[in-house]
Structures are given as C-alpha cells and as structure tokens.
A and B are shown apart, each in its own frame.
Chain A
Amino acid sequence: MAVTTFAYYPGCVAEFSSKELDATTKALAPMLDIELVPMPAATCCGAGDIAEAKPNLYLTLNVRILSQAEEMGHDILTICNVCTMNLRRANKLVKEDPRLLEQVNEELVKAGARPYEGTKEVTHLLWYISTEEGLSLLESRGPRGLSGLRVAPYYGCQLLRPSSVLGFEDPDRPQSLERLIRALGGEVADYEAKSKCCGFPIILARQEVALKESHVALSQARDAGADCMVTPCPLCHLAMDAYQRKAEVLNGTEYNLPVLHLPQLLGLALGLSTDVMQFKRHMVPVDRVLETVGA
C-alpha cells in the first residue's frame, strides 16, 4: 500500500491533557503507511461548545480548518470523535449549500484567511484502519498479537451519530472496533452500552449526571469480563479513565478497568515501545494489560 498523506488534526485534548494519544499516533503512523502533516494554524473545533454559544462562529472557524487542509492538498485525519463530528458537520453544511459556503468564505476572506472550495474530507483513524484494506495492511505488518486479551470496544457517540454526518457504519450495530480487536488477536468483550454516552460534555457542569452515564458502559464492560476497554475518543477516555474512580464512588461499585486509546491498542499489537505510548499518564493502571500481551 502506498503511503497516504493526511493533514493531521489531533484536537486539543490529544495535544495537551492526553498527550499520550498524540505521541502514540505519531509513532504508529509510519507503521500504518500514513504520513501526518501538522496544521500549525488550526484552531480548536469548538467541541460543540462554540456552536452552542455562537453557531455562525463555529461554522466559520471549522471551515477555516478545512480550508487549511485544502491548501495543504490533503484530507484531514482525526483521532477524536468530537473533532470528527464538528469538522464533518461543518463540511457537510457548506458542501450542501453553496450560498452558505459563499457567506462563510466572505467572512474568511475579510479576516485574511483562505476561502474554502469544498473539496476535502475528514476521516478518523479508526475508519482508515478498519476497512478491509487497513486490516490487510495490519496483517502484513505481522502483528505479534494481543494474546487473547479481552477488549471491550467503546465507541461513544459522535463517531456514530448523527449518521447523516458520520455515516461510516450502522450507528446501532457498529463493528469497526470489533473487526480490529479480532484482527489483532484479541477477544471481544461484547456489551450493549458500547455506543452509549460517556457523559464527558457535561462532566464539569453536571458531574453527577455524567458519572451515572459512564457507569452504564463501565459496569457492563466489567460484567462482560473485559480486561480493558478501548476507545477512539480522548474525551471518552478522560470520562472512562480519569473520572473512573469518581464514578466508582458515586455509583458505589468498582470497575477497575484499564482504558486504552485506540492507537495504544494498535501499538501493543504491533510491538510499539510502551515508553512511547506513555501508559504512566493513565489514571487507572494498565499493568495487567501489559502483562497479558507480554509488553
């Protein structure tokens, strides 16, 4: 497979509080025949919050990011559900409505930014690697496997819904993570709540509600006998890992469930150094997982 070049949009959380995700993705990229080109002038996507306060500003800022990718000549690769949804939503809105694109471009030009022609796409790493082509690429890398590690796939919301914006797979029967886990030699710990909400968007404003939400997936994954959970989204990761102890206290139970970022699971199977993947930055220790896979 030839090398695919992407405009790399890691999103704020992967760049700052969850640096381990960004570092792992960058180290993993060459193993997956991906070249990642940084986007130094890209803003935050607004994570739904800018859209909530100032919808037109949200749209303009996101189209500015898309236009930067267009100037670079590459589609965008994301590693966050929320970035994916926000960028794709903006892209869809202006691609379907030339008049709207014109209005947004007027603002961009007035502000000294490049107008957007509507020619770029936004893809999440999970989508790139869970296609048949991606899976055979993984196989050709001779993965050392996951030694039957039982992994609970956790999708979260905004990589699936609304399907009119995301549309990669059936939002009610997603299988991309399952395909990956199996291809890498792991076992799938299946459970119903894998595409329910982790509560992260309201974890600061409505902590109790959010922690009751994360409880649903965490407790089900635990009961399904998972050794760990894997997620394609760093916001879900924060809710499930960093806030796991808080959810245990509020819900009066224990999960004790290590949570991996998607690229970390790939990295473990492909033999990426554990130092690079920075597991020490996780709140829930992953020692048990590392032992099982012999990392």
Chain B
Amino acid sequence: MPTTTFKIFRFQPDAPRPEPYYQDFVLEHEPQMTLLDAILDLQNEQDGSLAIRYSCRSSICGSCACMADGRTVLACMQQVEELKARTGDDVVQVDPMGNFAPIKDLVVDLDPFWEKFRSVKPFLIPDGPAPEKERIVPTEAMQRLYKESRCILCAACYSECNSLAADPEFVGPAAFAWGYRFAADIRDGERKERAKLYSGKHGIWDCTRCMYCNERCPKGVDPRDAIEKLGGVAFQEGVQHDKGARHAKAFLISMRTGGKLNETLLVPFTDPIGAPLDAPFALKMLRKGKAPSPLPHKIKQHDEVKRLIKNVKETI
C-alpha cells in the first residue's frame, strides 16, 4: 500500500494556536483512495479536530471543494495517487479554496458566494400565468442550456477566478452560469431584464477571460463560455451601454470597416469620457509608435467578411 504525506492548512481561531499553519500527516492507504476519504481517515484516526465540509462523497453535492497542490478539486473526485503522479511528489499539499475567508481548516465562509448566486435570480421567471398543463420545451431548446444545468455550485470556479481576486465584488463564474441557464430558457420572460441585471458594475464585463473557471469546473460547465454567451444575449437585447460591451462593439466595427482590429479607435470608443482625460498616456503611446493609424486596416477579400456579417444569424 502507498504512503502519502499530507501537508494540510490548519486554522482553528478558537484553539490555543489561533494563527494559520501547515501540519504534516502521514497515511498508509489503498491505491484508489480519494483525497476526501484520506482526510476523513486522518480525522478519524489521527486528529479529530481536522475540519472539512462534505456530504455526498460522490461528486454531486459540491461541498468538499478544496485546493490540492494549488488546484481546486472536489476532494471526493480526486484520487490521491493521481495527485502524486501529477507532481511527481509523495507530499500532497491541501489548502482551503481561494477567494474565500477560511473559517476553520479547510472550511471556508461561502456567504458571499451564495449572496451573489441569489443576486442573479437563479430561477425561472415565466412570462405570464402558468398554463393548465405543463410547458412543452423542444429538446433543441434545452440542449442550449444543458452544460450550464450541470453546475453543482461547488465554487471551484470561484476559488481561482482572477477577476475576483482583483475585484472581490465581481459576481463570478458560477452565478453567471446559472444566469445564462435561465436567460437562455425559452420559458423565461425576463431575458432583457436579466441582460441589464448582469451588465452592471461587477457583472459579465468584469470577466478577464483567465479561463481558470473552464479549467477547474469538475462538471464541464465552462462558466466562461456562459459569460461569453451572456454577452451575446446582452447584444441581442440591445443592452450595450457598459464599457465592456462598447469594447466588443468596437471589434465589430473594425471587422466591418477593414477586417482587422483598429486599436486607435478601440480606446476612445470603449471609454469616450475617460479616454480624453488620459491624454498624457495616449501621447506616450503615440511617441512609442503604439497608436497606429486610426484608418480602417483593410484586408484582401473584405467583401466576404461584409457578407458574413450581414448573413450569419445568431442562435444564442
């Protein structure tokens, strides 16, 4: 049987040693043992005070997310030997999720996560009163939101979101996956209201596209893709006031007028109020040759592109 050293983040604010520290535990275990079972074993056999939040032990309740060697995982879904093979090291470091305040050992304060989840109205808001019988939804319509429906709210995406690390008020990936799940539901009557709600100050345009959420999601939800699709919903609903939406619009204008990005147009178009105030910076960029011609950059066969812009229909 393999032996593993677990280097576990300890934090017990009510204990005689209230500051955080790492504690090493050594465990001999079955080769297939999961990280959660290993931690529960340590809790039973070595230190009853070791705290972790868990419930189903089968990757569906989403309670036991924590960091293993710097990656957020569901502890119950991750085999210890796989972790060791990844790093080539017999020591596995276990930390609480990032972007959360720890409460005790691996247990974090999820309140901000739930608050933001609630803020996106993660439920169906039907248009008009309920029909006498059920609302029939064609399979294709449900397939559009199939991926997002798989979210189990484990917060693995939230744990490593780079936007959240820089702006703790960002609504975050999981909540927006749910937002898209309902914005794209043909039974929902508040698509436009949702587009407005999600386009606020710490909303979809805050996403920095670091792609950690897509990388970490244990259920293949791809929250970044959902945020991207919510951008598409905002465009369809004509909700384009945010600087982020204007940034995207400037790309569309570049595409229509020349085919390549017009960077010099992008700046004032995105931020017509702020950009002129930043003239000294613009001047510095100009001096370094970093402000190219503001005229469209025309590609060959641009007519094809113009026709595509005219023809291609969005199905979001």
A112 touches B303 (CB 8 A): yes
> Does B210 have its Cβ within 8 Å of any Cβ on chain A?
yes
Q: Is the interface of B mostly helix, strand, loop or mixed?
A: helix
Q: Please name all residues of chain B whose beta carbon is closer than 8 Å to the beta carbon of A54 when the two chains form the complex.
A: 232, 235, 252, 312, 314
B281 touches A52 (CB 8 A): no
> Does B162 have its Cβ within 8 Å of any Cβ on chain A?
yes
> Does B190 have its Cβ within 8 Å of any Cβ on chain A?
no
A16 touches B297 (CB 8 A): yes
> Does B188 have its Cβ within 8 Å of any Cβ on chain A?
no
Q: Please name all residues of chain A whose beta carbon is closer than 8 Å to the beta carbon of B87 when the two chains form the complex.
A: 173
Q: Please name all residues of chain A whose beta carbon is closer than 8 Å to the beta carbon of B305 when the two chains form the complex.
A: 43, 61, 64, 111
Q: Please name all residues of chain B whose beta carbon is closer than 8 Å to the beta carbon of A53 when the two chains form the complex.
A: 231-232, 235, 245, 248-249, 251-252
A199 touches B232 (CB 8 A): no
B285 to chain A, nearest CB (A): 7
Q: For chain A residues 232-248, which have a beta carbon within 8 Å of chain B?
A: 238, 242, 246
> How far, in whole Å, are A216 and B311 apart by their CA atoms in the complex?
43
> How far, in whole Å, are A283 and B120 apart by their CA atoms in the complex?
41
Q: Please name all residues of chain B whose beta carbon is closer than 8 Å to the beta carbon of A210 when the two chains form the complex.
A: 166, 208
> Does B57 have its Cβ within 8 Å of any Cβ on chain A?
no
One of A156-164, A177-185, A218-226, A267-275 contacting the partner: A156-164
Known contacts A49-B247, A56-B312, A205-B243; A281 and B259 CB within 8 A of each other: no
Q: What is the number of contacts between chain A and chain B, taking CB atoms within 8 Å?
A: 210
B199 to chain A, nearest CB (A): 11
Closest to B87 in A: A173
Number of A residues contacting the other chain (C-beta, 8 Å)?
A: 67
A202 touches B251 (CB 8 A): no
> Does A134 have its Cβ within 8 Å of any Cβ on chain B?
no
Which of these, A15, A57, A173, A205, contacts B244 with CB under 8 Å? A205
> Does B139 have its Cβ within 8 Å of any Cβ on chain A?
no
B261 touches A13 (CB 8 A): yes
What sequence of 0s and 1s flags, for each residue 240-259 of chain A, a beta carbon within 8 Å of any chain B beta carbon?
00100010000000000000
B232 touches A44 (CB 8 A): no
B107 to chain A, nearest CB (A): 24
Q: Please name all residues of chain B whose beta carbon is closer than 8 Å to the beta carbon of A52 when the two chains form the complex.
A: 228, 231-232, 235, 248
Known contacts A12-B297, A16-B297; A199 and B166 CB within 8 A of each other: yes
Q: For chain B residues 230-258, which have a beta carbon within 8 Å of chain A?
A: 231-232, 235, 242-252, 254-255
Interface residues of A (CB under 8 A from B): 12-13, 15-19, 40-44, 46-57, 60-61, 64, 85, 107-108, 110-113, 157-158, 160-164, 170-173, 196-197, 199, 201-202, 204-210, 212-213, 216, 238, 242, 246, 280-283
Interface residues of B (CB under 8 A from A): 70-71, 86-87, 162-163, 165-167, 170, 205-212, 214-215, 222, 228-229, 231-232, 235, 242-252, 254-255, 259-261, 263, 266-267, 270-271, 274, 281, 284-285, 288-292, 297, 299-301, 303-305, 307-309, 311-316
10 A-B contacts (beta carbon < 8 Å) = A13-B261, A46-B255, A49-B251, A52-B232, A53-B252, A157-B210, A158-B211, A204-B271, A205-B271, A282-B288
Closest 10 CB pairs of A and B: A52-B231, A161-B211, A197-B210, A12-B261, A111-B307, A212-B166, A205-B243, A16-B292, A49-B251, A197-B162
